[in-house]
Amino acid sequence: MDTRTALLAAAAALLLAGAIGAVAAPDAIVDPREADERPGDVRIVDTVVSPGEVRGETAELRLGVDLRHRGSAVENVTVRHRAIGADSGLLVDETTVDVGDVDGGGERTVNGSVDVDREGGYRIETVVFADGERRASQTTRVGGVAALTPDYADSRVGFTEGNVWPTVAVSVREADNETATLSVSISVTNRGDAASEPLDLRVLFRQSESNVIADEASETVGEVRPGRTDTVTTTVEVPANYNYYVDAALWSDDVLIDETQGVANLNPRETISADETVEEVEFAVEDFTGGTGGDDAADEAGAPDRGEDGAGDSTPGFGPLVALVALVAAALVARRRP
């Protein structure tokens, strides 16, 4: 076999192999222009939900949707978000983001948001459309929206929470049989990364049995460095021999930031604790009205004679009316006896 014949045989073998390959794998040889004409595909890879602007009654939920694109360009892409109440099943909010044409392959993030009420939980339904045709969808559930702190009340400064060191400490500066002057020290901690702005501290002394405000005070909490604790001290004057709840609150531009409670036990015969329900006892309103009446005024108001040690001379709850009822009952019993 000469060289010419060998070359012709090799060429024929190559053509035969190519024909067999084309029949076995028809997609192996494709015109690149035809590949670009294949319909593109867009789908949702992931959805991230984060809190946005938090208001008094509503909150913004920011939605970041990761889209993955393959193939040719996908035209007129839109992303629709629906927030549906988890318990009610009612539509709360709906927004649509116009993405436009998606091309180039890979992934891209499309940002959107919905507004919901600051209560309950929600089901966020995200759908991707291309030219009005649904292409992909995903559902994300969100709960605990009520726990989000409104922006106007978001502060890293609050009352100190300690196991030993008291947040509210009350000491007696002066006292007599009628009034007591108390010194109140309250600890405030900055849990943020920057120095705090000045805040208003308001303190109420509330008589435990009646909830009547005996006295109140206000102080300014100055700049507190990050991670530091500052102690603010104020003074009040209240009637002696009573127990009090000490209600303290931090305010920023008339917005309540934080609140706490302590107690002041000035009655040696019984004590109270914060958030504790106590037994009702007799209470004299005159002690808290700021009146100047003497002992005669107290007697006319019906206050019992406490004697030298402050104890009443008569047994509480028994009087002429009770005695009269007892006599009538005894007479009726006597008439029924044979």
Query: Three-state SS for 30?
Result: coil
DSSP 169-180: EEEEEEE-SSEE
User: Per-residue pLDDT for 261 more than 90?
Assistant: yes
Say whether pLDDT at 172 is over 80. yes
Q: What is the pLDDT of residue 103?
A: 87
**What is the DSSP annotation of 303-317?**
----TTTT--SS-TT
41-147 sits in which CATH class?
mainly beta
CA distances (Å), 286 to each of 13, 26, 245, 249, 316, in order?
119, 103, 19, 28, 19
Average pLDDT taken over every residue of the chain: 79
Query: What is the dotted CATH code of the domain comprising 155-289?
Result: 2.60.40.10
State the residue for tokens 């040889």.
29
Question: Looking at the chain, how many residues does it have?
Answer: 338
Mean pLDDT of 77-82: 96
- Check for a shared fold between 41-147 and 155-289: yes
What confidence score (pLDDT) does residue 327 get?
54
pLDDT of 335 higher than 60: no
pLDDT given for residue 275 in this prediction: 57
What does the DSSP assignment read for 107-149? EEEEEEEEEEESSS-EEEEEEEEETTEEEEEEEEEE--GGGSP
pLDDT band at 3 (very low <50, low <70, confident <90, very high): low
Q: Is the pLDDT of residue 149 over 90?
A: no
- Integer Cα distance of 218 and 205 in angstroms: 12
Tell me: pLDDT of 129 over 50: yes
Instruction: Return d(Cα 59, Cα 142) in angstroms, integer.
Output: 12
Domain ranges of the chain: 41-147, 155-289
Residue with more model confidence, 24 or 177: 177
Of 96-110, 228-242, 280-294, 308-322, the one with minimum mean pLDDT is 280-294
Q: Kindly indicate the confidence band of residue 322, based on its pLDDT and cuts at 50, 70 and 90.
A: very low
**In the predicted model, what is the mean pLDDT of residues 141-158?**
88
pLDDT tens-digit map of 270-319: 777 875 444 443 323 333 333 334 444 444 444 444 444 444 444 344 44
Predicted local confidence at residue 315, as pLDDT: 37
Query: Phi then psi for 68, rounded to 5 degrees?
Result: -110, 130
> According to the model, what pLDDT value does residue 50 have?
92
At residue 311, the pLDDT reads 41
Quick: pLDDT tens for 9-35: 666 666 666 666 655 555 555 555 554
Integer Cα distance of 10 and 1 in angstroms: 13
The answer on pLDDT for 162 being more than 90 is: no
Given this model, what pLDDT does residue 8 score? Answer: 60
Rounded Cα gap, residues 253 and 259, in angstroms = 15
Q: Which residues pair with 168 in a beta bridge?
A: 186
Which of 101-115, 278-292, 317-331 shows the lowest per-residue confidence on average (mean pLDDT)?
278-292
